[in-house]
Copies of this chain bind each other. A is one copy, B any other.
Amino acid sequence: MAKKFLGIHVIAELHGCNPEILNNPELITQILLKAAKDAKVTVVDYITKKFEPQGVSAVVVISESHITIHTWPEIEYAALDFYTCGEEDPEKAVREIAKELGTREMTIFKATRGNISKIKKILKQKKENGDDEKNEARAKQIQVLL
């Protein structure tokens, strides 16, 4: 079956995590890089930032898109994203990261991105109508409270 979308983006809300791990930039970087390896994605580069008095942000750029985490050790919460256009569903890697962080409860939101039939349709419309249609970008909006 042909692919229907370019990628899968998992957005995870991690609650009741281990605050010491959430405040350790080296350990968090190591956990994300291991997850990238396990998910068979290719790491391009990464940034880790420790905030004062607490909190870590880590971003891993992968050839297939990105992995990001932002942590709030004081409330044992972390916001994790794993977005990949590779062949592997990142959900398994997200669960592994959650486990490493001692997560007690997690909400996963999964979005498929880059709807291929929609991309083709809009390319076709643009080819037919040229650039004459200078309307401002139309936006459909969906909202979710995680």
Q: Are B49 and A106 in contact (CB under 8 A)?
A: no
Contact with B along A107-144 (1 / 0, CB 8 A): 11111111100111011011000000101111111111
Nearest to A66 among chain B residues (CB) is B68
A49-B57 in contact (CB<8A): no
Give the Cβ gap from A141 to chain B, nearest Cβ, in Å: 5
Residues of chain B within 8 A of A146, CB atoms compared: 111-113, 115, 142
The residue that A7 contacts in the complex, of B79, B140, B144, with Cβ under 8 A, is B79
Q: Is the interface of A mostly helix, strand, loop or mixed?
A: strand
- From B11, B15, B104, B140, A111 is in contact (CB under 8 Å) with B11
Is residue A82 within 8 Å, beta carbon to beta carbon, of the partner chain?
no
Q: Which residues of B contact A61 (CB under 8 A)?
A: 47, 49, 57, 59
Given contacts A106-B140, A112-B143, A112-B144, 7 further A-B contacts (CB under 8 A): A13-B115, A49-B61, A81-B83, A106-B138, A108-B142, A110-B142, A111-B145
Can you list 21 pairs linking A and B with CB atoms under 8 Å apart?
Answer: A6-B72, A11-B111, A13-B114, A16-B122, A66-B68, A68-B83, A75-B123, A79-B83, A99-B137, A103-B137, A104-B137, A105-B137, A106-B139, A107-B140, A108-B142, A109-B143, A110-B143, A110-B144, A111-B143, A111-B145, A115-B145
